[in-house]
Amino acid sequence: MVPFAAQGHLNQLLQLSCLVSSSYKIPVYYFTSPIFIRQAKSRINGLNPLDVEKIHFHEIPTPQFDSPPPDPKSPHKFPTQLQPAWYASLNLREPFAGFLKEMSVRFKRVVVIHDPMMAVVVQDVASVSNAESYAFNCVSAYSHISILHQRLQFPVSVEFPKELPSFDGCIPDEVNYLVALQSEPSNHRSGDLYNTCRSIEAPYMDILENEEISGNNKEIIENRNTWAIEPITYQIIIFFISKHKCLEWLDKHDPKSVIYVWFDTTVSLEDKQIKRLALELEQSKVNSSGIVGS
């Protein structure tokens, strides 16, 4: 498992790691830098600790990088403070290639499941005869095709709500460049995994399986497969004798209430934005509560 250095990505691949290891008794290696292994472990929620203990966490140091706080005055709300970590992760290609060769000698077959944003790091899978790679997509199928449609102008057979905001200006050029770097290396993957279920997103999964969308170029690879694999968290167990105090607090709210939680860790909001959000919720006449961290 080769995750991308962002919490929503680290967490989902750790959930999948536990599912594969506990259900199929397959040794699973979670490959990233020590700081992000610590982050993933410290934010585990609901997973069986015994399943987590079965995972082999393989720590690979990255060069030092800056870690600035979120900027509430940034012209866009993309978490640009994480960019130094993302660019530092590009240095993992060489150590990963060495680790992959070691695994290919130890095991008859090696399957690499990686975040699409780590295609550069895992690209040497193509040179190992008994190894294959699959991209694990954290976002919904709907989000995926909306990005393809809006930003890459792929024609799709579904209509999008007119109220859907444009992606224009949402992603800085530095991040677009990082995304572009993954394009060529990702052509050698054997398939795609989506953290969704077909019963909910069948129309969008059908679009993603289209050859033009999925890049199923026969000159590169034949019959690239696409799977919807949710739920990956069906084995979650609550390890508390009594409810957590947060759940007790939630139980006291009326049905259909709106709870807005903002921790100020990834994306930061200005005071005027918080006030505007509170005003809109108040005018909606919906019972609402806000939790603001700093």
- Clarify whether 264 is annotated catalytic: no
- Clarify whether 9 is annotated catalytic: yes
Tens digit of pLDDT for each residue in 214-237? 554 444 445 678 999 987 875 555
Catalytic residue among 115, 144, 149, 192: 115
Give the contacts of 158 (CB within 8 A, at least 6 positions apart): 145, 203, 204, 207
- pTM, two decimal places: 0.83
CATH fold of 7-228 reads: Rossmann fold (3.40.50)
Tens digit of pLDDT for each residue in 23-67? 999 999 999 999 999 999 998 877 888 999 999 999 998 888 998
Low-confidence residues of the chain: pLDDT under 70: 151-154, 211-223, 234-243, 262-268, 290-294
* Residue with the two structure tokens 């694990």: 136
Name residue 210's amino acid: N
